[in-house]
Amino acid sequence: MNPLRARVRRPGRLAAEASALLIALVVAFPLYWMVLSAFKPAGEIESSEPRPWTLAPSLDSFRRVFGQQEFGRYFLNSLIVAGCVVIASALIAFLAATAVTRFRFRLRTTLLIMFLVAQMVPVEALTIPLFFLMRDAGQLNTLGSLILPHIAFSLPFAIWMLRGFVKAVPEALEEAAYIDGASRARFLWQILFPLVLPGLVATSVFSFISAWNDFLFAKSFIISDTSQSTLPMALLVFYKPDDPDWGGVMAASTVMTIPVLIFFVLVQRRLVSGLGGAVKD
């Protein structure tokens, strides 16, 4: 029994629980309103008397979204970008985290500090040089121009966070593996990798989100070839500041939010313990 809880007298606890539920409702309300508005028929969305329910749910807004030129393509593009970033940064970060936790070598501490400093770099400020870099490499208007920078920007945090997980694998296990005649590569991929996998999953949430949510790079690097566009840009097609199509915006937002929600719910436990590990370490 948690003593913080044991101390609280009954009325106090009921008040705390009531406020927790109330706050949960307030926090969840924007998401509820988003989904609700996505299903409302046109007349109810743009009504001056908005109601928190609808008696005539309709799929019109979703039809408009999916009927938009190549929306499926944008969705797929977003998935490809996020998928490549997650896999590549997880593998690269795993190798780097192993190097800095399981080996002692000169410059180790310097490198760690560099990884920490790299996390602070404002990605947005680098849009200008990256734009020229991508242009000179002929990568403008390609998904590569979105994938590569996101791998780079998610690496420092991923390495930093994975350190704790790699460190937690006992040294004795490594020695035993070598005594049994395992090679370094065998230990790395067949013993260490599966043990660190939960940590990799927790870490990948962050790279997934940054790649999936990216708005700035897509806006700056995908300038003319709209077939390479991603979801955030597709969403903004419906959002014209003077006359937004709110039904379309809310339906597209719903479609864009759901994959992240699913991913979050799946890795939720590991995320919490991963954060605890990264922070306590």
Partner 1 sequence: MSGGWTPWLYLAPALVVLGGLLVHPIYQLGLISFFQYTQAQVSGGEPATFEGFGNYTELFGDPQFWQVLLATVLFAVACVVSTLAVGCALAVLLTRVRAVPRLALMLAALGAWATPAVTGSTVWLFLFDPDFGPVNRVLGLGDHSWTYGRLSAFLLVLLEVVWCSFPFVMVTVYAGIRAVPTEVLEAASLDGASQWRIWRSVLAPMLRPILVVVTIQSVIWDFKVFTQIYVMTNGGGIAGQNLVLNVYAYQQAFASSQYGLGSAIGVVMLLILLAVTLVYLRLLRRQGEEL
Binding segment (CB under 8 A) for partner 1, from list 7-15, 60-68, 69-77, 191-199: 7-15
Smallest distance, Å, CB 271 to partner 1? 8
Q: What six digits make up the tokens of 124?
A: 């947005």
For residue 267, the tally of other CB atoms under 10 A from its CB is 18
- Residue 191 interacting with partner 1 (CB under 8 A): no
Map residue 95 onto helix, strand or coil.
helix
Segment 98-127, which members bind partner 1 (CB under 8 A)?
A: 98-100, 102-105, 108-109, 111-113, 116-127
Residues in contact with partner 1, counted by CB under 8 A, come to a total of 104
Question: Which CB atom, from 59 or from 266, has the smaller least distance to partner 1?
Answer: 266
With 0-12 / 13-18 / 19 or more C-beta atoms within 10 angstroms meaning exposed / middle / buried, residue 206 is: middle
Smallest distance, Å, CB 41 to partner 1? 14
Segment 221-280, which members bind partner 1 (CB under 8 A)?
A: 232, 235-236, 239, 241, 246, 249-250, 253, 256-257, 260-261, 263-265, 268, 271-273, 275-276, 279-280
Which sign does the torsion angle of CA 237, 242, 243, 248 carry? positive
CA 165 to chain centre: 20
Residue among 14, 28, 1, 23 at smallest CA distance from 257: 28
d(CA 10, CA 228): 58
Segment 149-178, which members bind partner 1 (CB under 8 A)?
A: 149, 151-153, 155-156, 159, 171, 174
- Residue 33 interacting with partner 1 (CB under 8 A): yes
